[in-house]
Chains A and B, each alone.
Chain A
Amino acid sequence: MASGGRPERQAPPEIFYNEDEARKYSTNTRIIEIQSQLSERAIELLRLPDDTSCFILDIGCGSGLSGECLTDLGHYWVGLDISSAMLDVAVERETEGDLILGDMGYGMPFKPGTFDGVISISALQWLCNADKKYHHPPKRLLKFFTTLYASMARGARAVFQLYPENSSQLELITQQAMRSGFTGGLVVDYPNSTKAKKMFLCLFAGGQPQQLPKGLGTEESQTNKSQITFSDKRERMKNVRGKSLKKSRDWILEKKERRRRQGKEVRPDTKYTGRKRKAYF
């Protein structure tokens, strides 16, 4: 991607993620699919205990797509974002998580030891920009990471999917994270593919020493088999938690049932519920 095309170069996040941009997170299927895939992988990298509902923080939670993935796995979450337009979409979507308008560069406004895990999808690289005269990216990153560390339960993980602009940004980010006490490092999925390559910064907040997970599509994770293990895992999860595969008819029916129980208005179930639409208009 040419650097001129990077959103971070165009405007501060609270301006870039205006109503028009936010709208795409509820209408553009490609954006929705990518966000959900990245979120599912980030949650997988969190390695939360099986069969336990956890309390998770989603940083740059935006429209709540990532949060919905957490809800589908039975977790509870709080999301923080700087764009009120994005948060409004999350409210519209009736996400289960609680939302906070905030700037991660000001620090995380939470009590010590609060979260069992933290995810963040495509947001962290925004902190490398100085969008205001008084912004100093290294300081904002340090403030962010130190306060984040404190807000996490000992031994908890934070997984950030990110798009650093260059290697020095990545270095600055990791350096400030380590200075704040985190251990861990970078997991790169499909490092040899320009299109599929994805970066996840996996940070551990103290506790027992933990091993960094392997990236998908790397030699160590057995080339090409990794994609399969991932979907295998979803099948397994489905059985373990008695939950259905996302977007399947069963999944939709369960979600509708859940909403009905919450007293929300839900369309009646019919034989068309969850059916694939034909491609003609």
Chain B
Amino acid sequence: MKLLTHNMLTSNIIKGVTKGFPLGIQVSKLEEKSVDFNPDFVARMIPKIDWSALKQAASDVGKGDEIPADIVPQYEQNEDFLKKAHHVLMEIEVIEGELVCPESGRKFPVSNGIPNMLLNEDEV
């Protein structure tokens, strides 16, 4: 699971959970994979990113210092910023670990890079 996906993922499908965002990350295996840098795509995604959640997620996986605390002004033209965002969003992957619902504490296992968002009967 890329941190880009994590930034979009919520646990609000659980009955009684209203926002379910951002999910906490407990990681036991992390991988870095290189992905072609596509500045247009990254720039287009920035407005959709909850930056403080991304910063938190990056710290949760021990990479907090790889991105700035805030989105910089005129980021579209700032290649250095876009490259950092690209790296953290697209190249860092949680392979094994758990995601934690911020409201209910419910844990979703991540295995083989795939978060398991299946629910139990009493959660739907």
Question: B9: CB under 8 A from chain A?
Answer: yes
| A26-75, CB < 8 A from B | 52-53, 55
User: Do residues A102 and B117 form an inter-chain contact, with CB atoms below 8 A?
Assistant: yes
- The interface bits of chain A over 66-87 (1 if a CB of B lies within 8 angstroms of the residue's CB, else 0) are 0000000000101010101001
Bound-complex Cα distance A101 to B5 (A)? 13
Report chain B residues within 8 Å CB of A91: 112-114
Distance, CA A103 to CA B120, complexed state (A): 11
Are A258 and B114 within 8 A (Cβ)? no
| Cβ contact within 8 Å between B10 and A87 | no
Complex contact B113–A99 (CB within 8 A): yes
Are B41 and A53 in touch, CB under 8 angstroms? yes
| Contact A109 to B10, CB < 8 A, known contacts A76-B41, A98-B4, A262-B34 | yes
Docked-complex contact A98 and B10, CB < 8 angstroms: no
Query: B36 on the interface (CB 8 Å rule)?
Result: yes
A100 contacts B41, C-beta separation under 8 Å: no
Q: Are A84 and B114 in contact (CB under 8 A)?
A: yes
Contacting residue for B33 out of A82, A88, A110, A262, CB 8 A = A262
Contact pick for B13, options A99, A106, A113, A263, CB 8 Å: A106
Residues of B within 8 A of A262 (CB): 33-36
| 9-residue interface stretch from B42-50, B57-65, B73-81 | B42-50
> Nearest Cβ distance between residue A118 and chain B, in whole angstroms?
13
Tally A residues with Cβ within 8 Å of B: 33
Determine the main DSSP class of B at the interface with A. Answer: loop
The B-contacting residues of A in range 126-168, CB under 8 angstroms, are: 132, 134, 147
Which B1-18 residues have C-beta < 8 A from chain A? Answer: 1-2, 4-5, 7-13
| Number of B residues, CB within 8 Å of A | 34
- The answer to whether B117 touches A101, judged by C-beta atoms less than 8 angstroms apart, is yes
B8 near A100 with CB under 8 A, answer no
* Chain B CB within 10 A, most for which of A82, A96, A100, A109: A109
**Interface, chain A (partner B; CB < 8 A):** 52-53, 55, 76, 78, 80, 82, 84, 87-88, 91, 96, 98-103, 106-111, 113-114, 132, 134, 147, 258, 261-263
Q: A98-B4, A106-B13, A111-B21 are in contact. Are A52 and B115 (CB under 8 A)?
A: no
* A108 vs B11: C-alpha distance when bound (angstroms): 9
B118 within 8 A of A: yes
User: For residue A84, which residues in chain B have a CB less than 8 angstroms away from its CB?
Assistant: 114
Cα-based distance from A207 to B45 in the complex (angstroms): 19
**Interface assignment of B30: CB less than 8 Å from any CB of chain A:** no
Q: A99-B113, A109-B12, A111-B7 are in contact. List 17 more A-B contacts (CB 8 A).
A: A53-B40, A55-B41, A91-B112, A100-B117, A101-B114, A101-B117, A102-B116, A102-B118, A103-B118, A106-B118, A106-B119, A109-B11, A109-B13, A132-B121, A134-B124, A262-B35, A263-B33
Whether A261 contacts B36 by the Cβ 8 Å rule is yes
A52 touching B114, Cβ below 8 Å: no
Mask: chain B, 87-101; 1 = CB below 8 Å from A; 0 = not: 000000000000000
